[in-house]
Amino acid sequence: MLEVTNLKAYYGGIQALKGVNLSIKEGGIVTIIGANGAGKTTLLKSISGLIRSKEGRIVFQDQEITKFLPRQIVSLGIALAPEGRQVFASLSVEDNLNLGAYLYYRRKNRSKIRTLKEEVFELFPVLKERLSQLAGTLSGGEQQMLSIARAMMVRPKLLILDEPSMGLAPLFVLEIFKVLERLNQRGTTILLVEQNARAALRVAQYGYVLETGIVILEGQAHKLLVNEKIKKAYLGD
């Protein structure tokens, strides 16, 4: 579904990605783990078109998207729920969802947008109760739900999530990961960056370990969970 080959990207004069290779098969959950500064967010932004890579290729469903603009990438079926949630705090929950559906926002598509909202309300019932509430007044967990729901408003083929459990209480973390499993069971392919490596590897089928812009290890998630190097570095064992 997605193939990243020899991807190199920079922030100014600093090289953040040093030739990353990554492959995602349709229908699965793939996770990327690594320490702060490893290049995880840079990789996600490069795939989403928010950062222009200097070298390498990104191919989505047999189409090269390396130089595509973010809007073009979203229209192909890739959506990002960014790190830190980044909801529009001064707008209502409903307005945030409407902005997520901007590709469809024409008069003739109003019924489609209503259908998309009902789909996300099934996953996150609390958002339906908070429709008129300003997004900035939601709890951290509710804002994360809104961030994911907003990304789901384009009904993506590939959903990319950057640190969805960051700063959340354990009960919200558990709920978020349950939702990710449900989304995957319904056919959404997921690419997940997550510092909670144990939770990420438990929900994923395959994992990559990124260190200073390089993939140092990859494999089936259940095997990475018992890898001694991974346990010592990322699982606290």
Q: At residue 191, does pLDDT exceed 90?
A: yes
CB 202 within 8 A of CB 234: no
What pLDDT was estimated at residue 231?
86
Beta bridge partners, 17, equal: 9
Q: Tokens 């707008």 appear where?
A: 91
Distance CA 216, CA 227 (A): 13
Amino acid at position 53, single letter: S
Q: Tokens 């339906």 appear where?
A: 128
Q: What is the mean pLDDT of residues 3-27?
A: 93
- pTM of the predicted protein model: 0.91
Q: What is the DSSP code string of 168-230?
A: --HHHHHHHHHHHHHHHHTT-EEEEE-S-HHHHHHH-SEEEEEETTEEEEEEEHHHHHT-HHH
Q: What is the pLDDT of residues 209-233, one digit of tens each?
A: 999 999 999 999 999 999 988 888 8
Q: At residue 156, does pLDDT exceed 70?
A: yes
What pLDDT was estimated at residue 223?
94
Distance CA 112, CA 195 (A): 35
SS3 55: strand
CATH topology classification for 2-234: Rossmann fold (3.40.50)
Q: What is the pLDDT of residues 63-118, one digit of tens each?
A: 999 999 999 999 999 999 998 889 999 999 999 999 998 887 765 677 888 889 99
Pairing of strands 78-81, 158-162: parallel
What pLDDT was estimated at residue 50?
94
Where are the chain's structural domains?
2-234
